[in-house]
Structure formats: structure tokens, C-alpha cells
């Protein structure tokens, strides 16, 4: 290699690396381990985890939720036909995966209320990034107004992405009532992004946001909780142009670092701007129903310079899991999950009030998540609740701080939380606070 490059030594090869960052010594690595020794080491690391399904009762949310996953979901989703890195570009050998993705797209479109959904993106944050890219390309504008009620981690990803193409990210603050305070100057806005419910769990007025977007000639992006749509109107019914979501609640385990699942839907008018893979239904040469990837000219591996997005893969396996989970639940089961989340949230709020642990007053309704202002900081409460067997919630501190709610505890409920667990949780909170 050095000869081919016309160099005499590795020092010449690495000469461009600044001395300030170059490592001029040997790597200090431990001795090599055998396979069984590595397994023992990794098992010790794994034992340090405290899974919500074993050690801790989970009341944390903030974008990832402790939902039940049907046995059929993990069983079918773990079949070797699905657990593969193969990209289904050859329909003649991939009809099973392609049909699964087609059904996934159809279900996501029914939930979002929009006509077209892709075959998934990496996660909710990447879906936000792609929505921003689509909106700026479509409107030929660069100003993006994002509600402060969008997941702070998502916003951080969006702000990092925006540095490349030069998009102007503007964060609209959250008021004391939990609602977004939108700017009055709407000049040059490409899109508005609103949470539904927002990161605090509050359901904002989407009709008002639709009015803002229409008056500004901008697109409306709704970042929704898919489980909430079991009880709430769909984003499409409010006139959303783009709907994005984190699909983890749809049958995907809680995992630090994922893999998770990005949901992305658009109105029919925006199909040519849609990022990522799209599966369509057609007829084969024998007149039988068949599934293929379609509108491929949008993808970067076909026309990189004119592609609608640089994303070139997705979360096929997680999409299959979500499709299986939704199929298993059915319409009535999906509704039951939403009702259970809502009733548990109402019960917990009432228990907190009865014990004198006051929840934050707001005029906005909530679905399954809400912030609580306690006599101690949230991070302290979480630490002290851990030995009592609870993952108490998410601390709205540091990078997760929200205007007017800094230091509060964000609590989430799912269908897995029983009345007994909620009563125990409230009792532990009283013990910790008092």
C-alpha cells in the first residue's frame, strides 16, 4: 500500500494527523480472552442492568414506554426469514418481507390518517430530521419552527443535522400551561413541528397550528404517540402534511440505544418527496398479487444528486414486529390499550392528589403522561425510589429540561401498570418525599 501511494513509512501516511490528537504510544489493551471468558465478562456487565420486566416497576416514559409485547410478536418476528440483513430489492425471493412491510405501511397510514407511509426510518429523531429536510426542499425555505414540547433529544438531533444544509431551527417555548407559544412573525417559515401529545404529555390545539401553517404557507408536521391515536383524532384529520412518530410502543422492547422504529407518513401530494423505501402492490406476469419496492427514483442509490433523501436503509425487522403486534391487537385491542393507559393515568393523578402530592395545574388534557412538581428535585426522587423497586419517571433536568417545568418529574403509564403497582408507587413516593 505504501509503495502504491508513493510513501516510505506509516509516519508519512499519518503526517496529516495533528500532534494534539495523535496517539504516539502503543494501545494499552488487556490480554486476549477466550470465548468462554468473554461470555463471563459480558454476563457480568449484563447483570448490572435492572430490567423493567424483572427488577423495577417502570413509570418512566419520555419517548420510550413499557408496553406489553405479545408472545406471538417475538415468536414470529424472530423467524430467520425476517431476521436478515437482506434488502428486499429482488421481489421474486422476498414476497414475505415485502408483504409484511406493505401491511405495516397500511396500518401506519390508518393510524396517522395520511395516505402514504414509508417502510420505516431509524427512529423518531431521524423521522424528524427527514421531515425537516422534506419541508425545506418542498417550500424552498429554511426557517423551521419546532415546538419546545418536542422530545429534547429529537431537537438536539435536528439541530445537529441542520448545520449541514443551513436550516434555521427556531424553538418555540412552552408556557406555564404546557402549551407551545408560537412566534407572531411567520415570515419564511417552511414548517411547524408540534407534539401530539407533546413531551410533557399534554394534548395541544392542532387546529390552531394548522391555521398558523396555512397563513404562513408552511407545512404542518405532527409528532404523535401512536398509542394515543387509539383515543385521539389522527394527525391527518387536522390537516397535517407530515406525521412522524417513534414506533417503539408498537411491540418493540425497551432498549438503551435501540433498535427503535421511525414512522413517517405524508399526504398524497408529497409522495414524490417521501424519504426512504416504499413498498407497493401490483400484479406479476401471471396476474397474481405481488409486492415490490416502488417509486425507486426517489432513493439515493438510484439518483444520488436528485434523491429526496440520503437515507438508504430502514428498520425492516422492527417494522415487521410492529405489524405483527398491531395485527395481534386488532382494532378493539388497540383501543383497549389506549383506554387502559388513560384510566391508569387518571387513577394515579387522583391518588397523588389524595396524598397531597400536587400535580401541575394546566388547562390542557393529557393521555398517559404528565409532569409532577414535588418537594424534591426529580433526579433525587428517582435515585431514592430505585432501591424501593421503582423506575420513578424521567427527570426534566439538564438536557431534558423544559421551559417552566425544569426539575419536575415526568410520569408515564401503560396498560402493564396495575392498580396495586400504582398504589405501591404512591406509597413509596410519600415515603421518599416526606
Kindly tell me if the per-residue pLDDT of 128 is higher than 90: yes
In this predicted structure, what is the pLDDT of residue 383? 97
The mean pLDDT value for 90-119 works out to: 95
Q: How far is 300 from 303, CA to CA, in rounded Å? A: 5
In this predicted structure, what is the pLDDT of residue 90? 86
Confidence of residue 179 (pLDDT cuts 50, 70, 90): very high
In this predicted structure, what is the pLDDT of residue 305? 67
Confidence of residue 361 (pLDDT cuts 50, 70, 90): confident
What digits encode the pLDDT tens for the residues 224-264? 999 999 999 999 999 999 999 999 999 999 987 789 999 99
Q: How far apart are the first and last CA of the chain?
A: 69
Mean pLDDT of the chain: 93
Which residue ranges form the domains of the chain, and what is each CATH number? Answer: 57-69+330-433 (3.90.1150.10), 71-323 (3.40.640.10)
The mean pLDDT value for 296-300 works out to: 64
Q: How far is 23 from 13, CA to CA, in rounded Å? A: 14
What digits encode the pLDDT tens for the residues 37-86? 999 999 999 898 887 767 899 999 999 999 999 999 999 999 998 998 88
What digits encode the pLDDT tens for the residues 377-397? 999 999 999 999 999 999 999
Amino acid at each position: 500500500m505504501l509503495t502504491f501511494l508513493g510513501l516510505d513509512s506509516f509516519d508519512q501516511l499519518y503526517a496529516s494527523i495533528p500532534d494534539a490528537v495523535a496517539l504516539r504510544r502503543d494501545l494499552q489493551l488487556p490480554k486476549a480472552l477466550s470465548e468462554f471468558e468473554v461470555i463471563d465478562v459480558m454476563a457480568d456487565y449484563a447483570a448490572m442492568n435492572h430490567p423493567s420486566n424483572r427488577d423495577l416497576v417502570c413509570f418512566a416514559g419520555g419517548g420510550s414506554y413499557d408496553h406489553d409485547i405479545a408472545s406471538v410478536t417475538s415468536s414470529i418476528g424472530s423467524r430467520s426469514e425476517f431476521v436478515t440483513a437482506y434488502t428486499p430489492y429482488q421481489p421474486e425471493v422476498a414476497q414475505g418481507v415485502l408483504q409484511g412491510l406493505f401491511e405495516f405501511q397500511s396500518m401506519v397510514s390508518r393510524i396517522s390518517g395520511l395516505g402514504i407511509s414509508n417502510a420505516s426510518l431509524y427512529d423518531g429523531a431521524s423521522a424528524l430530521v427527514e421531515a425537516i429536510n422534506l419541508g425545506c426542499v418542498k417550500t424552498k425555505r429554511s426557517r423551521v419552527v419546532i415546538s419546545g414540547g418536542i422530545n429534547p433529544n429529537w431537537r438536539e438531533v435536528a439541530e445537529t443535522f441542520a448545520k449541514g444544509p443551513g436550516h434555521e431551527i427556531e424553538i418555540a417555548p412552552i408556557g406555564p400551561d404546557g402549551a407551545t407559544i408560537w412566534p407572531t412573525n411567520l415570515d419564511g417559515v417552511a414548517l411547524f413541528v408540534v407534539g401530539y401529545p407533546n413531551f410533557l404529555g399534554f394534548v395541544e390545539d392542532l387546529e390552531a397550528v394548522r391555521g398558523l401553517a396555512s397563513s404562513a404557507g408552511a407545512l404542518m408536521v405532527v409528532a404523535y404517540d401512536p398509542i394515543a391515536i387509539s383515543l385521539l383524532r389522527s394527525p391527518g384529520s387536522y390537516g397535517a402534511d407530515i406525521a412522524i412518530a417513534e414506533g417503539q410502543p408498537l411491540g418493540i422492547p425497551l432498549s438503551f440505544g435501540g433498535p427503535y422504529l421511525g414512522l413517517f407518513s405524508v399526504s398524497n401530494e408529497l409522495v414524490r418527496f417521501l424519504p426512504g423505501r416504499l413498498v407497493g402492490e401490483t400484479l406479476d406476469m401471471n396476474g397474481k398479487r405481488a409486492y415490490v419496492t416502488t417509486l425507486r427514483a426517489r432513493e439515493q442509490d438510484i439518483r444520488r444528486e436528485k434523491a429526496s433523501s440520503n437515507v438508504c436503509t430502514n428498520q425492516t425487522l422492527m417494522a415487521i414486529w410492529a405489524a405483527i403486534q398491531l395485527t395481534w391487537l386488532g382494532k378493539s385491542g388497540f383501543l383497549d390499550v389506549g383506554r387502559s393507559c388513560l384510566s391508569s393515568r387518571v387513577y394515579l393523578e387522583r391518588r397523588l392528589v389524595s396524598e397531597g402530592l400536587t400535580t401541575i395545574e394546566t388547562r390542557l388534557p393529557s393521555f398517559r403522561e404528565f409532569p409532577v412538581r414535588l418537594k424534591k428535585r426529580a433526579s433525587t426522587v428517582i435515585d431514592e425510589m430505585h432501591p424501593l423497586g421503582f423506575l420513578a419517571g424521567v427527570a426534566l433536568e439538564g438536557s431534558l429540561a423544559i421551559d417552566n417545568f425544569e426539575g419536575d418529574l415526568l410520569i408515564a403509564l401503560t396498560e402493564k401498570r396495575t392498580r396495586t403497582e400504582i398504589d405501591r408507587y404512591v406509597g413509596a413516593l410519600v415515603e421518599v418525599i416526606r
